[in-house]
């Protein structure tokens, strides 16, 4: 995957960097769950930046749900940002917009992560 | 003024390993149709959901022949059709009755696919004709 990851002020920021579908969803899932663990160890939140993620199919949503479950177990907050029109629609249809904290920008997600 | 390309027709064996090739061909075709990104992206999602359901639940095998997909842009509408020769099966009916809200509440990892297809497109129609399943889907541009 075109995955990038960094740690900022104890928060883990990840970018899948490409659409998430049947080809890479399993890889995405294991990376997301690991980043939840990393966020837990560093005492911060997980921020998922969806820039360059043109779309996610239902297996992509599955990988996201696995991250949500891991995060709930570990008391890690997940914030998301960088969503294009299609991703916003997918989040709305699936109900994920009610499950994850959506931010307009990475800066705003970081501010919220550090405040919480 | 450039013409929209002719109808895309492709076939695939009922195997998940075929989906990457299908996606790549469809992506190329949809880009040639000069559609807005959001339309292209949603059609890529819809295609994967439908084909994955046919492969997983449709009881097609190599003996029943390939799955066929046709895609055509006609002015402000994109028409898609998925045809397979497996047992009678509507790819949009195999999901349970849960709403998306219930799936989220129960932290379910599956079941979102059908919701996506129904909500991302304007019309879906399943018919069974001459021993084949036909799923027609339209998306307004």
Nearest by CB to A21, which of B42, B48, B101?
Answer: B48
A21 touches chain B (CB under 8 A): yes
Helix, strand, or coil here: A79? strand
Residue A21 to residue B48: CA distance in whole angstroms: 8
Domains in chain B, start-ordered, CATH in brackets? 8-140 (3.30.565.10)
What confidence category does residue A116 fall into, taking pLDDT thresholds of 50, 70 and 90?
Answer: low
Q: Quick: pLDDT tens for B6-46.
A: 899 999 999 999 999 999 999 999 999 999 999 999 999 99
What confidence category does residue B5 fall into, taking pLDDT thresholds of 50, 70 and 90?
Answer: confident
Residue B3 pLDDT more than 80? no
Interface with B, mutate which of A19, A91, A94 (most B CBs under 10 A): A94
Q: Please give the C-alpha separations between residue B17 and each of B20, B22, B46, B102, in angstroms, as whole numbers.
A: 7, 10, 17, 31
Q: Which residue has the higher pLDDT, B4 or B55?
A: B55
Confidence at residue B60, expressed as pLDDT on a 0 to 100 scale: 84
Residue B65 to residue B47: CA distance in whole angstroms: 19
- Token pair 């009922």: residue: B14
Query: Are B104 and A98 an interchain contact pair (Cβ–Cβ within 8 Å)?
Result: yes
Nearest by CB to A93, which of B23, B52, B115?
Answer: B115
Domain ranges of chain A: 4-111
Query: Are A65 and B109 an interchain contact pair (Cβ–Cβ within 8 Å)?
Result: yes
Q: What is the mean pLDDT of chain A?
A: 96
Extract the tokens encoding B101.
């809200």
Check residue A20 and report its DSSP letter.
B
| CATH code for the domain defined by A4-111 | 3.30.750.24
Interface with A, mutate which of B17, B40, B100, B116 (most A CBs under 10 A): B116
Q: Quick: pLDDT tens for A4-52.
A: 999 999 999 999 999 999 999 999 999 999 999 999 999 999 999 999 9
B→A interface, C-beta within 8 Å: 16, 19-20, 23, 37-38, 41-42, 44-45, 48-49, 52, 100-101, 103-104, 107-113, 115-116, 119-120
> Do A65 and A95 form a contact (C-beta atoms < 8 A)?
no
Q: Please give the C-alpha separations between residue A11 and each of A36, A46, A109, in angstroms, as whole numbers.
A: 10, 6, 10
Order across the sheet with B132-140: list the strands.
B8-12, B67-74, B77-84, B132-140, B123-129
Query: What ipTM was assigned to the predicted interfaces of this complex?
Result: 0.95
Dihedrals φ, ψ of B83, to 5°? -125, 130
- Candidates A51, A52, A65, A54; CA nearest to A94 is A65
Residue A100 pLDDT more than 90? yes
Nearest CA in chain B to A54: B41
Interface with B, mutate which of A51, A53, A55 (most B CBs under 10 A): A55
Q: What is the pTM of this model?
A: 0.95
Q: Quick: pLDDT tens for B86-119.
A: 999 999 987 677 899 999 999 998 889 999 999 9
Nearest by CB to A22, which of B52, B109, B111?
Answer: B52
């Amino acid at each position: 995957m075109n995955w990038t990851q960094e740690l900022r002020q104890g928060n883990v920021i990840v970018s899948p960097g490409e659409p998430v579908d049947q080809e890479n969803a399993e890889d995405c899932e294991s990376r997301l769950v690991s980043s939840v663990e990393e966020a837990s160890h560093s005492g911060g939140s997980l921020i998922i930046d969806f820039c360059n993620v043109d779309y996610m199919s239902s297996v992509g949503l599955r990988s996201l749900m696995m991250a949500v479950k891991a995060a709930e177990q570990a008391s890690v907050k997940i914030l998301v940002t960088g969503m294009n029109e299609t991703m916003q629609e997918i989040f709305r249809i699936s109900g994920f917009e009610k499950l994850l904290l959506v931010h307009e920008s990475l800066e705003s997600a970081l501010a919220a992560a550090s405040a919480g | 003024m450039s013409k929209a390309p002719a109808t895309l027709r492709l076939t695939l064996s009922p195997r998940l390993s075929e989906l990457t090739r299908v996606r790549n061909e469809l992506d190329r075709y949809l880009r040639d149709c000069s559609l807005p990104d959001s339309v292209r992206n949603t059609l890529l999602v819809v295609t994967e959901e439908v084909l994955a359901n046919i492969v997983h639940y449709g009881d097609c095998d190599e003996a029943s022949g390939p799955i066929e997909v046709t895609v055509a842009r006609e002015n402000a509408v994109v028409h898609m059709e998925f045809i397979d020769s497996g047992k009678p099966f509507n790819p949009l009916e195999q999901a349970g009755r849960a709403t998306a809200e219930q799936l989220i509440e129960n932290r379910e990892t599956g079941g979102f696919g059908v919701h996506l297809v129904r909500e991302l497109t304007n019309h879906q129609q399943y018919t069974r004709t001459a021993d084949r399943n036909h799923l027609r889907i339209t998306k307004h541009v």
